[in-house]
Amino acid sequence: MRVIAALWLRNVKLFARNRTQLILILIMPFFYLYLLSTIFQSASISNPVHYVLAGIVIIVVFQTSLNIATSTIEDIVSGYMKEVLVSPVKRIQIAVGQILSSTTIATFQGIMILCVGYVIGMTYTSIITPVAVIGFMIFVGLVFSAFGLFLATSIKNAQTFQVMSATMTIPITFLCGVYVPLNLLPNGLQVIALFNPMTYAAAFFRTLSLEKMSLSADELIAEQLAFKMGDLVIMPHISLFIIFSFGILFLFLSTLAFSQIDFSTLNRAKGSKDIFQQ
């Protein structure tokens, strides 16, 4: 537990010291909010500002958890983890510490945006809703921190990983309905979006955050909070099950891969910076 706590605290402190990053966290989402709310209004979405804001919160949690989870590999190849790795500490503890710190930072960022969203009028009618919203952000943070750690342990070259990370993040982000309404996409991309786990994470978070769990299937489909695949309607509870299955799979794969990888084969170009220095 001491190793997990030490790695968790170290990453959280590095995040807190990066003041520029903290400011950008608050500025950038509202730039997208202003830009996208008009687009979603044209897609017949009721209350597009709150709809877009809910999507931005969960996409920030996704991107942060995916990116920061990979800093463990940067720490190892840069020498920081050398003392940790040569000590009798189980690698699974290091993996857990990294996943938990990524989840903490990602959830904190999501809460910060929610707090500012509250100022512009995003409120809840039930006191249970904000608790459930934060709980789901923690869940999504765990899922995609594990996914990011798995990607990092699957690629031997740190520079290649940066390219791979961007290659994975961009299509997942733009094909989940957060930035572009899915019904405005070409039919082929709409089908591909149904295989994107973030599509279901964003839809469930919006349903939860906008307190629309009681809507009928037709109303949820119209609001793009449920999806029709042939005769099957993917309701919010099915979306939650899909994310849960995806998370269990990659929690297992990431801890297994991290425990078995030979870190001596990782390559890093001289002068590369870790994620907190970018």
The model's pLDDT over 91-105, given as tens digits with 9 standing for 90+, comes to 777 778 878 888 898
Tokens of 112: 């910060």
pLDDT of residue 277: 41
Mean pLDDT value across the chain? 79
Q: At what angle do helices 128-154 and 158-174 cross, to 10 degrees?
A: 140
Percent of the chain with pLDDT over 70: 77
Is residue 255 within a helix (H) or strand (E), and if so which, with residue range?
Answer: helix 236-260
Q: Is-contact 54 205, C-beta < 8 A? A: yes
Asked if residue 122 has pLDDT above 90, the reply is: no
Q: At what angle do helices 48-69 and 128-154 cross, to 10 degrees?
A: 40
| Whole-angstrom distance, CA of residue 164 vs CA of residue 17 | 27
Which residue has 């910060």 as its token pair?
112
pLDDT in tens, 27-69: 766 777 666 766 666 666 667 777 888 888 888 888 888 776 6
Least confident of 12-26, 28-42, 190-204, 231-245: 28-42
**Which amino acid would we find at residue 147?**
F
Asked if residue 127 has pLDDT above 80, the reply is: yes
Asked if residue 257 has pLDDT above 60, the reply is: yes
- What is the mean predicted confidence (pLDDT) over 167-186? 82
pLDDT of residue 43: 62
Asked if residue 274 has pLDDT above 50, the reply is: no
pLDDT of residue 44: 64
Asked if residue 224 has pLDDT above 90, the reply is: no
